[in-house]
Amino acid sequence: MRPASGTLRRVGRGYLVATERAIEGRTWFERFWNRAKAILIGHPLTNADLPHERLSKLKALAVFASDAVSSSAYATEEILLVLMLAGSTALGYAIPISLAIVALLAIVATSYRQTISAYPQGGGSYIVTKDNLGTTPSLIAASSLLIGYVLTVAVSISAGVAALTSAFPVLHDHKVSLAVGFILLITLGNLRGVRESGTIFMAPTYLFIGGFLLMIFVGMYRVLVGLPPVEDVAGSAQTATEQLTLFLVLRAFTSGCAALTGTEAISDGVPAFKPPEAQNARRTLTAMAVILSILFFGISLLAVTYSIVPREGETVISQVARAVFGVGPLYYYVQFATMLGLILAANTSFADFPRLSYFLARDSFLPRQFRFRGDRLSFSAGIGALAVLSIGLVVSFGADTHSLIPLYALGVFISFTSSQASMVRRWWRLRGPHWRRSMAINGIGAFTTALVALIFAVTKFTDGAWMVVVVLPLFVLLLRGIRHHYDEVYDRLTLDQPDQPIPHLHRPLCIVPIEGLHLATLHALSYARSIASDVVAVLVTDDVELAEDAQRRWERWGGDVPLVILESPYRTLVGPFLAYLDAIQTRKTDAPITVVLPEFVPKHWWEFMLHNQSALRLKASLFFRPNTVVVDVPYHITR
Amino acid sequence: MRPASGTLRRVGRGYLVATERAIEGRTWFERFWNRAKAILIGHPLTNADLPHERLSKLKALAVFASDAVSSSAYATEEILLVLMLAGSTALGYAIPISLAIVALLAIVATSYRQTISAYPQGGGSYIVTKDNLGTTPSLIAASSLLIGYVLTVAVSISAGVAALTSAFPVLHDHKVSLAVGFILLITLGNLRGVRESGTIFMAPTYLFIGGFLLMIFVGMYRVLVGLPPVEDVAGSAQTATEQLTLFLVLRAFTSGCAALTGTEAISDGVPAFKPPEAQNARRTLTAMAVILSILFFGISLLAVTYSIVPREGETVISQVARAVFGVGPLYYYVQFATMLGLILAANTSFADFPRLSYFLARDSFLPRQFRFRGDRLSFSAGIGALAVLSIGLVVSFGADTHSLIPLYALGVFISFTSSQASMVRRWWRLRGPHWRRSMAINGIGAFTTALVALIFAVTKFTDGAWMVVVVLPLFVLLLRGIRHHYDEVYDRLTLDQPDQPIPHLHRPLCIVPIEGLHLATLHALSYARSIASDVVAVLVTDDVELAEDAQRRWERWGGDVPLVILESPYRTLVGPFLAYLDAIQTRKTDAPITVVLPEFVPKHWWEFMLHNQSALRLKASLFFRPNTVVVDVPYHITR
């Protein structure tokens, strides 16, 4: 042990702890890479740096509600876009539809209040469902949520960019680049480990809520006292292209249900609240539901009152803001706050998706990479996967909120349903005090959300919901397949008895493939002799003259290792060499065949391509050969 | 040895020969790949299959002259394209310019006749220059030739496609795809090992020569007896955009010099002639020069006589053929023969480029890959490189002959110059009979071609010749750099004494990084114990609980290998592990540190990504660590 170097610290018998010096770069490239990473995402943190912040109700509302609340920025528009198909006169239906969605929100929120009480340690759909309904339902819930999170990012960012381009139409042509840029920014921020610290979230969320409330109250006041809109935003009359059927109304309703996404966030994060956790979480959930109801219904009311018609290039919110404030500081404030609120909503998915991936990977349903925390303690693999998937969606759908909506909300409502159904099962199983009442509440929740999911799947099937219907079961199969593989590997690797001894092996037979007689060969032969008594050098070549020459030289040299010449008239190395191994393995059966590869380490990495890649190809083939061990003996040219 | 398997044949003590069975695929994928390759490029051939055909003069002319002769298909057009800038009246200058080029051809051919006599074993520019002027000039010659070969392919194929699209204008929009398709076809043919067998070359070359001769004689006859052209092809009057300066005439002259490319081919291939080789080769060269002169000058004469003006979409040859034959069978025959002749010309580069690359690789100026013959005995690396480079050129220049011409010929003339200058030096050195006369002939050749190269570089500099001027020295530097690297490696690897014994090493200290106690670990530990007496298992983890648990389990297990826990609070594996190796290496100095890696081989390749890539990352880092040996002990899950 070299205590001077200070890379390791001994804390007990056979127990060392690495210090920060142990992770310093060893080559200029590693140092450069570490420096670049430090600038981009910050210096590495140790496990001890994991934060444990407790949130006040005010901060918690900002952290957990931004996703749900910000959806009021596009939900009304999505309803109007469907109703518009039946002509301008149908737009008035937005009021009863919005009322229905508010009622649905009340049901879902009441249901989740019970989940909070039952799972004060945090009750995401995956965990609650696994606990009560078993593996497959929990994987359905998890897959729905993962899909939902990806779509939350895509939809929120697209809507946020729409807020920006409504205020600055010149940016309209760059909306895809803007959306991708925002996602990359959020990704970087999350790799740095932007914690869900209330402070960061407070300002944008309350700016958003404040702006919307102000707009709604001022708007309502102006309408009630009979003042005309500051700017006339009434849309031109739309001719109907479809009949106003129940089907169309239901389609409009499901579009508006996007407002409810994110409602489950608080029940996931109960442990982050200050004590009494459950009580504070329940109150925050109620506050969130009330605020969301006011914002969403208020916007719908104003939009209908002002006869606003959705149009390309300007959001409904932007039109409402123009009617209420005119284009001035307050208008720009609303647009800017909308954008910030929506980007923050996407950011919550960047916390939720990696965390759920972590849970799934911990239970072996996802590759282990998703379990590892990166330099900054964030789940880098999950963050990366979410970034790639959401950028893919944004680019394919041209950062258009409206074309993404048919895919959205279905996943979220499936996870609502499984979570509520799990609660029903739980009440039935435990039968504590008031279990009938509680079961009824969650039962109504489960039934309603299931109904909405069904309506959604049917009415939006051809618009894109079919993708979710197809992807969801495939994803569940993938998760099960991964788990199956890990289980199988675990089975095969487990010791037969807990005190199973190390099997005894004879010293191996060493084969050293060589190119000729030089120092690297000597180095490899000397290593082979140090680990085995039985060493053979093999020269594979297509050149008869070279072979005979090598044989003569080998005899003159007089080292005591036998040389086998393997002439390969087809000029290939791997096949004849493997054939040779097959041939000698019939003689020696006990120890694995050991192939000692003299490898050559040039001074600079770019010189690698100047040397035969034969060793690499040989290694690739030998890796799959049973009972074969490959030993790399690098010869460094610098020394 | 298992004689039953029949993969190897013993031919002497320590000397085995692999049979065809040794190269059979071992997995379904390998077998599939081999099958596909066999269909595409044919069954593998052994070294004994290398052909040694001797060519008659008639066949040799077809093989070696197709490149030079076929350039008559575009040389006239390139002259006219430059002259046109000075208006229609300037086009008549094509006659004296063509005469000058024919004179130049006579000089170059006479020079090369001497090279043939001096180097009956084959005297390419690279070899002749290396022999007489030394390394750097020979590398300049070689680089010029390599560039020239790439351009020959690009220019010939583009001109061949132009012949096709002149006859079938509907194909004009697809000329790039057609050109790339032809190059791929030739590449495949050469990978199959289309030998330069005279038989394959005979038909197209003589069809081409015959067609052109017929067209010239019929045309001349019609002109002399005063018959009008069958179709009036006289171009509209062109207004001058430039003055008819000497500079412009020289530009036109250098454009026409493209006709001379390929003249050196015969001197490269003297050994392929029937004896007396040198004499036959000289006669063939003369015949080639005469034929090329007639074709090229005849076309120029007819084009000027018929007042043909180059125009987009139809070649000059096509216009001449229309004037002489009218659009009928003979017209299509000429177009088709032109295309075939030009494609064959490209094909000769596919023989020359890989052969020159082989010479350069043999002298360590190019990576060793260029020395290897593929399954079909062709130099696959050279063929592949030429295909990639020429396709790159064709695509970048839109398969347009005219835009490629400014890059062409410069390289070829530089190699002419160095080859002729080498001959001058040779005569001076040897001073055999008639050395003064011979030296004068080559001297004139060297001077003339040097002058042309200079004029070319100056007049075409801004048109694209600058690229050659820039690339050429860079390429020479690259070749020298590669050679320097190989020399250095050779120096470092050579044994100090020819009977230097194998150094003695103590048994190594084995470090086994483990993830936990399972069968793969046991397998690796057992192997480590079979090669060393000093074995330590190391567990790197960031999870304190897991670490303590593993330590307890290890003690209960009671195997006699010590376990070191290495806690890594930054969660990274490699840094702390390397730090540990550094720490123990100070204690043990003799044998290399041996890291025994338990590796896990899943049943299917796609399952790889479900397992930690940590072993891979560890290997990459350990490869560069001095005095460290890595042992892969794969554990196969299937067994």
Is A577 found in the same domain as A442?
A: no
B18 to chain A, any CB pair closer than 8 A? The answer is: yes
- Asked whether the predicted pLDDT for residue A67 surpasses 70, the reply is yes
Q: Compute the distance between CA of residue A73 and CA of residue A96 in angstroms, rounded to an integer.
A: 18
**CB of A526 less than 8 A from some CB of B:** yes
Least confident of A59-73, A81-95, A182-196, B322-336: A182-196
Chain B, residues 604-623, CB within 8 A of chain A, namely 607, 609-612, 619, 621, 623
Are A236 and A309 contacting, i.e. CB atoms less than 8 angstroms apart? yes
Report d(CA B532, CA A97) in Å as an integer.
78
CB B219, CB B302: distance < 8 Å:
yes
* Residues B467, B524 within the same domain: no
* Residue B411 near residue B145 (C-beta atoms within 8 A): yes
Nearest Cα of chain A lies from the Cα of B506 at a distance, in angstroms, of 6
Residues of B in contact with A34 (CB under 8 A): none
B443 and B573 both lie in a single domain: no
Contact between A489 and B517 using a beta-carbon 8 Å cutoff: no
d(CA A80, CA A97): 10
Chain Cα centroid distance, residue A298: 34
The beta-carbon neighbor of A493 closest among B520, B547, B626 is B520
Q: Does A18 touch chain B (CB under 8 A)?
A: yes
Contact A135, A384 (CB under 8 A): no
- Cα dist from B368 to A611, B358, B430, whole Å: 7, 9, 35
* A10 domain residue, yes or no: yes
CATH code at B620? 3.40.50.620
In this complex, is the C-beta atom of A46 within 8 Å of any C-beta atom belonging to chain B?
A: yes
Residues of B whose CB is below 8 A from A631: 629-632
Interface test with B, best of A493, A506, A521, A582 (most B CBs within 10 A): A493
Our CA angle for A87, A88, A94, nearest 5°, is 105
**Which among B632, B635, B637, B639 is the top mutation candidate for probing chain A, defined by the most A β-carbons within 10 Å of its own β-carbon?**
B632
pLDDT band at A269 (very low <50, low <70, confident <90, very high): confident
pLDDT score at B590: 66
Task: Encode pLDDT of B494-509 as tens digits.
Answer: 888 878 888 888 888 8
Element holding B436 (H helix, E strand) = helix B435-459
What radius of gyration do chain A's Cα atoms show? Answer: 33
pLDDT level of residue A292 (50, 70, 90 thresholds): very high
Give the start-end residues of each E strand in B295-346.
Answer: none
pLDDT in tens, B290-341: 999 999 999 999 999 999 999 888 999 999 999 999 999 999 999 999 999 9
Question: Would you call B375 an interface residue with chain A, using a CB distance cutoff of 8 Å?
Answer: yes
Q: Is A492 a member of any domain?
A: no
Structural domain contains residue B444 = yes
With an 8 Å Cβ cutoff, are A601 and B612 in contact?
no
Omega of the bond leading into B276 within 30 degrees of 0 (cis): yes
Note whether B24 contacts A575, CB cutoff 8 Å.
yes
A504: chain B residues, CB-CB within 8 Å: 526, 529-530
H/E stretch holding A630? strand A628-636
The residue among A173, A208, A398 whose CA lies nearest residue A299 is A208
Chain B residues inside the 8 Å CB shell of A572 = 23, 44
Write out the residue range of the structural domain in which residue B273 sits: 56-487
More confident residue, A29 or A245: A245
State residue B197's pLDDT score: 56
Task: Report yes or no: B245 at the A interface, CB cutoff 8 Å.
Answer: no
A522 touches chain B (CB under 8 A): yes
The position carrying tokens 């030993």 is A631
The closest alpha carbon to B215, from B298, B132, B339, belongs to B298
Q: Which residues of B touch A374 (CB under 8 A)?
A: 571
Give the residues across from B566 on adjacent strands.
Answer: A16, B540
Does residue B28 belong to the interface with chain A, where contact is any CB pair within 8 Å? no
Tell me the CA distances in angstroms from A593 to A256, A565, A596, one per residue in order: 67, 19, 10
In terms of average pLDDT, the best of A8-17, A579-588, B69-78, B429-438 is: B69-78
Whether A497 maps to a domain, the answer reads no
Shared domain for B191 and B269, answered yes or no, is: yes
Complex ipTM: 0.81
A580 touches chain B (CB under 8 A): yes
Contact A368 B24 (CB under 8 A): no
Size of interface A-B (CB pairs under 8 A): 314
Establish if A52 touches chain B: CB-CB under 8 angstroms.
Answer: no
Task: Tell whether B629 is within 8 A of chain A (Cβ).
Answer: yes
d(CA B327, CA A632): 70
- Chain B CA closest to residue A505: B530
Q: Which residues of chain B carry a pLDDT beneath 50? A: 1-4, 639
- Is the domain of B7 the same as that of B89? no
Final residue belonging to a domain, choices B430, B453, B487: B487
Q: Which residues are paired to B250 by β-bridges?
A: none
The residue of chain A with its CA nearest to that of B585 is: A1
Residues of A (320-359) whose Cβ lies below 8 Å from B: none
For A268-288, letters b (16+ CB in 10 Å) and e give: bbbebbeeebbebbbbbbebb
B502–A559 C-beta distance less than 8 A: yes
- On whether any CB of chain A is under 8 Å from the CB of B502, the answer is yes
CATH number at residue A253: 1.20.1740.10
Q: Does A529 touch chain B (CB under 8 A)?
A: yes
Question: Taking 80 as the threshold, does the pLDDT of residue A51 lie above it?
Answer: no
Determine contact: B275 vs chain A, CB below 8 A: no
Q: Which two tokens stand for residue A570?
A: 């087809």
Whether B226 contacts chain A with CB within 8 A:
no
- Both B34 and B61 in one domain: the answer is no
| A536: confidence class by pLDDT, cuts 50, 70, 90 | very high
pLDDT tens digits for range A490-524: 888 888 887 888 888 888 889 999 988 888 889 99
Instruction: Say yes or no: A222 and A351 in one domain.
Output: yes
A425-475 confidence digits (pLDDT tens): 999 998 888 899 999 999 999 999 999 999 999 988 988 888 889 999 999
Confirm whether B501 is domain-assigned. no
H or E element in which residue B567 lies: strand B563-567
- Computed on alpha carbons and rounded to an integer, the radius of gyration of chain B in Å comes to 33
User: How close A23 gets to chain B, by Cα (Å)?
Assistant: 5
By DSSP bridging, strand A628-636 and strand B15-18 are unpaired
**pLDDT at residue A535 above 90?**
yes
d(CA A42, CA A39): 6
**Ramachandran area for residue B305 (φ above 0: left; ψ -120 to 50: alpha; else beta):** alpha
Residue B227 at interface with chain A, using a CB cutoff of 8 Å:
no
Q: How far is A50 from chain B (nearest CA, A)?
A: 11
Please give the pLDDT value at position A9.
Answer: 85
Q: Which residues of A touch B623 (CB under 8 A)?
A: 599, 601, 632, 634
Residues 6+ apart with CB under 8 A from B524: B512, B514, B596, B597, B598, B633, B635
pLDDT in tens, B457-476: 998 898 888 888 999 999 99
CB contact under 8 A, A499 and B629: no
How far is the C-alpha of B523 from the C-alpha of A503, rounded, in Å? 7
Q: What are phi and psi of A128, to 5 degrees?
A: -65, -40
- Number of neighbours of residue A333 by Cβ within 10 angstroms: 17
Contact A197, A418 (CB under 8 A): no
CB-based contact A26 B578, cutoff 8 Å: yes
Question: Which of A441, A467, A483 is the last residue before a domain boundary?
Answer: A483
- Rounded CA separation B368/B442 (Å): 35
Q: What helix, strand, coil percent values describe chain A, rounded to 5? A: 65, 10, 25
Longest CA–CA separation in chain A, Å? 112
Clarify whether residues B348 and B278 are in a common domain.
Answer: yes
Same domain, A233 and A270: yes
pLDDT-derived band at A203, boundaries 50, 70, 90? confident
In percent, how much of chain A has pLDDT > 70? 95
Does B495 fall in a domain? no
Interface contact A5-B527, CB threshold 8 A = no
CA A498 to chain B, closest CA, distance in angstroms equals 6
Label residue A169 exposed, middle or buried (CB < 10 Å: 0-12, 13-18, 19+).
exposed
Give B449 to chain A, closest Cα distance, Å: 35
The answer to the question of residue A410 being in a domain is: yes
Name every chain A residue with its beta carbon within 8 A of the beta carbon of B563.
14
CA distance A397 to chain B (A): 30
pLDDT of A112-158, one tens digit each? 999 898 888 877 889 889 989 999 999 999 999 999 999 999 999 99
pLDDT of residue A541: 87
pLDDT band at A539 (very low <50, low <70, confident <90, very high): very high
Residue B18: its H or E element? strand B15-18
Of B45, B586, B632, the CB nearest to A629: B632
Looking at the fold, whether B467 and B586 belong to one and the same domain comes out as no
Alpha carbon A446 to its chain centroid, in Å, reads 27
Q: How far, in Å, CA of B626 to CA of B635, rounded?
A: 27
Residue B87 burial class via C-beta count within 10 angstroms: exposed 0-12, middle 13-18, buried 19 and up: middle
* Confidence label for A4 from pLDDT (cuts 50, 70 and 90): very low
In the numeric block, the tokens 């000698």 are attached to: A584
Q: Output the pLDDT for position B52.
A: 67
Angle made by CA atoms A311, A313, A318, in degrees to the nearest 5 = 80
In chain A, residues with a C-beta closer than 8 Å to the C-beta of B503 are 522-523, 526
Tell me what pLDDT residue A605 has. Answer: 67
Contact B639 A631 (CB under 8 A): no
> Is residue B460 located within the same domain as residue B579?
no
What is the arithmetic mean of pLDDT over A167-188?
Answer: 91
**Contact yes or no for B551 and A367 at CB 8 A:** no
Half-sphere exposure of B233 (CA within 13 A, CB side): 27
A48: in domain:
no
Q: A8 and B504 in contact by Cβ < 8 A?
A: no
- Cβ contact, residue pair A576, B22, below 8 Å: yes
What is the number of structural domains in chain B?
3
Tokens of A105: 């929100």
B561 touches chain A (CB under 8 A): yes
Among left, alpha and beta (phi > 0; psi -120 to 50; other), residue B134 is: left
Which residues from chain A sit within 8 angstroms of residue B498, using beta carbons? 556-557
The verdict on B195 and B337 lying in the same domain is yes
pLDDT higher than threshold 60 for residue A204: yes
Of B143, B138, B164, nearest in space to B470 by CA = B143
Nearest to A526 among B48, B505, B542 (CB): B505
